[in-house]
Structure 1
Amino acid sequence: MTGNEEKNSCKKNDFTNGIPNNILIKSIDNFSNVTELDMSNGKIQNLDGNIKFPASLLHLNLSNNKLTEVPSNVLKLDNLKSLDISFNSILVFDDIPSFCHSIEKLNLSKNSLNGPPLWVWTEKPRNLKYLNISNNKDLCSTFTDNYLNELCQYKTLVNDIDMHNCRISKYVKLLASFCHTRVITLGNEEYVHHLVNNLDHFPCEGLEECRDVEVLNLANTQLFHINSNIDIYTNLKELNLSQNNLNSLPNEFYKLVKLETCILSYNSLDYLPSNICELTSLVTLRLDNNKLCMLPENLHEIPNLKVLDLYNNKLHEGPSNLNLEEVDLAQNCFDEPDDEEYLLKKQKLRISYPDRKIGRKVEVTEQIEPSLSSSDEEELYELATNEIIHDDQKDNRTSSPEDWDSDDYWIPQYDPPATPPLSPWIYYVQTKMREGNFCPMDAHPISISDLVRYDRLYNPHLVHSLDGHSDNYSDDDS
């Protein structure tokens, strides 16, 4: 058997009811030179303790199984460099493994951890570069003030940490232990409302200590405000603030002089700081799906800007004098360019956004009642008074007291004042209010008409008998 065939045979998942069969156990025992082993998607609940992994094993994949703990024979591996044990049901991983100082990548995402792997803090693995403990909803469930303060005293050597969807809102202080980390992921574009890390503002406690960070992902972290001390991140190269609740950026934003990629999509930004042109390293600026109504006049002065996404804003005029490689200006309040050069640049940017619309935004105007001019008010007043006079003249029927108690006969009484109020429109409204029809100037919880009906129902008018007629229901013999 060749080396490639040997490697492929060990990568193949050969399981029966979640338990590796004897053939696989023997094959692992026999292949002493195997360096990579894939045992994912095997429905493994308990790994057989008789399995002896080769000492040469460097990369092990146990993801998408049903493990509730890290197998003891895995903990005994001395030279392991990467371990993927994501998508399991592991509760605790505090035991110090033999590969503590050889491991480079550790993926514990999508488990049931009730606390971070303690040995990563206490032992400070020398070579651990990437740690993924995301999507563990109970990661902070065992935290107490004393335990959290103890963890924060340790400064891990992890270079890349992913902790999105861990509900660390009350425990952001933990981030102080990653003060040497260069890549921090606390957010994700896939929104899971009951797992998100609610930060509210940025920089926040704990994250203020991570001043060496170069790549920071805070998408979907419910941010409302960017503090003015954002300039503490002097090494920041990539910043993702998309899908938050931001409506402005501080003027100190321009001090992020090393920033190359800035993603601000899906916020509520109305404007940009005028000094944004001082971001001399900026290459990619994504501002799609905001509320921008204007752009800084000096936007063209950003020397290295190559990608500009302004899709779906409220701009009435597009940027000019920009030497861009990718740009999208569709769905704004101006006609989208139709020249071939622009279309090619837009097509290039839209490779990852196939569902976007083209053309100009369809403006939806709010239905606001126009104010009436003096001539309109006079005409309306004349119309209202004429209708009142006409109704009085038309309805000249004689009535009896019984008629006034009839729902069908009830007639609003109009008594226009001798001198109308200053505004004929107000007079008209008051007249309609007396009728019990509507009251546009006051949002009543119960409409005037309902109040009138209620009053008439529970406070009926007295019935007067007519002269010479009496209601007598007594027997003739009485």
Structure 2
Amino acid sequence: MNNKKINQFKFWYFKGLIKLLFIISFSNSFGQTKGRFNDLNMALSNPDSVVVLNLKNKGLTEFPKTILRFKNLRSLDISGNSIAELPNDLATLSRLQYLDISDNRIKQLPKSVASLNNLKSIHLGYNSSIDINQVLSVLTKISTLETLDLKYDGLSDLPPSIAELKNLKTLDLSGNPIKRLPAYLTRINSLQILYLNNDPYFDIESSTEVLIGLNKLQELHLENDRLKILPDEIFQMNNLKLLYLNQNEIYKLPSTFEEVKSLQYLDISGNPLPQFELENFKQLYAPTLRINIGN
């Protein structure tokens, strides 16, 4: 092949490549990529192909009923809108696994949500008027539920019904003014990840026994809680792997820290601990533990 043909080949090759990239970019800009859509009208052009629908921050004031046409929908994000109610026939989305309705005006869930037998994750954060008792009366009937996000919902306590979420693995309570954890929380035997961060009212001393009772807990978030001390007993959490204590007011580390054999990562940055103590602490545990002490 002479140089002229090689150059022609390169020209058409790169021209074709640029055209392909343009088509992909054009498709993405209108909200369609392999079953993923972020434009409702585009999704409605081929409803059976819609698997993931993202309508976040679209200025919606009502739930678009046309969404119910997407029978293969597995993930729906309508967060960041002004929706106050979900339709009673939401259960027609029988394959739905992920539902994000955070940052809306949701107060209650329709009873039909209890029939979403494939739902694994629901995000209800930033709905300050939420009726937590009514919501839990629905969600406790979903045996597949593994993740519940209730961040910044203005909750000062948790109703006993939350303990009926027997298969829950992740619970996000961050940003709620919860002072102490109720003892019945330990009945959620499957809980592995717990967010209690951004709660200046949280009293860790009165909640330590509950935290210890969460036998399968592996990840605990207590950052930005204005904690000053850590009870020695906190390190009796035998399965804890990730502990976030950053951005608190902790001035002393517990002497029983070395008892936590399972711990793999610790973040203690942003606390008023002496730098030399942090450096010594990090060197002491560095071989087996990743530690973030900040700058």
Deviation at 1:280, TM superposition (A): 2.9
Q: 1:81 to 1:12 in 2, by over 3 A?
A: closer
Please state if 1:247 is matched with 2:247: no
CA deviation string 1:74-95 (max 9, x = no partner): xxxxxx622122xxxx7xx7x9
Quote the residue 1:117 is aligned against: 64
State which of 134, 147, 150 in structure 1 corresponds to 2:79.
Answer: 134
Q: Is the 8 A contact 1:155 1:179 kept in 2?
A: no
Deviation at 1:197, TM superposition (A): 4.2
Aligned 1:80-229 pairs, distance under 5 A: 81-85=35-39, 97=44, 99-121=46-68, 123=69, 125=71, 127-137=72-82, 139-140=83-84, 150-151=88-89, 154=92, 156-169=94-107, 171-173=108-110, 176=114, 178=116, 180-187=118-125, 196-199=127-130, 201=132, 204-229=136-161
Secondary structure at the aligned position of 1:116 is classed as coil
Aligned 1:249-398 pairs, distance under 5 A: 249-267=181-199, 268-271=201-204, 272-290=207-225, 292=227, 295=230, 298-311=233-246, 312-313=248-249, 318=254, 319-320=256-257, 321-323=259-261, 324-329=263-268, 337-339=278-280, 340-341=282-283, 348-349=291-292
Unpaired runs of at least 5, structure 1: 14-36, 41-58, 62-79, 189-195, 359-478
Matching residue's letter, 2:50: I
Matched residues, number: 269
Whole-Å Cα distance in 1 between the matches of residues 102 and 24 of structure 2? 30
Whole-Å Cα distance in 2 between the matches of residues 341 and 198 of structure 1? 48
Unpaired runs of at least 5, structure 2: 1-11
Q: 1:276 to 1:187 in 2, by over 3 A?
A: same
- The normalised TM-score by structure 1 is 0.48
Q: Is the 8 A contact 2:43 2:50 kept in 1?
A: no
Quote the residue 1:231 is aligned against: 163
CA deviation string 1:376-424 (max 9, x = no partner): xxxxxxxxxxxxxxxxxxxxxxxxxxxxxxxxxxxxxxxxxxxxxxxxx
Whole-Å Cα distance in 2 between the matches of residues 12 and 314 of structure 1? 49
Identity of aligned residues (%): 22
- The normalised TM-score by structure 2 is 0.74
Q: Is the 8 A contact 2:208 2:233 kept in 1?
A: no
Q: 1:132 to 1:96 in 2, by over 3 A?
A: closer
Q: Is the 8 A contact 2:264 2:290 kept in 1?
A: no
CA deviation string 1:338-375 (max 9, x = no partner): 4133685997547xxx6xxx8xxxxxxxxxxxxxxxxx
Deviation at 1:187, TM superposition (A): 2.0
Deviation at 1:293, TM superposition (A): 6.2
Q: 1:273 to 1:255 in 2, by over 3 A?
A: farther
Secondary structure at the aligned position of 1:327 is classed as strand
Whole-Å Cα distance in 2 between the matches of residues 106 and 296 of structure 1? 45
Higher relative contact order (CA 8 A, sep 6+): 2
Deviation at 1:201, TM superposition (A): 4.2
Q: Is the 8 A contact 1:254 1:275 kept in 2?
A: yes
Deviation at 1:247, TM superposition (A): 0.6
CA deviation string 1:147-190 (max 9, x = no partner): 95x43675643101111111112x334654645410111226xx
Deviation at 1:275, TM superposition (A): 4.3
Q: Is the 8 A contact 1:200 1:223 kept in 2?
A: no
Larger gyration radius, structure 1 or structure 2: 1
Q: Is the 8 A contact 1:294 1:315 kept in 2?
A: yes
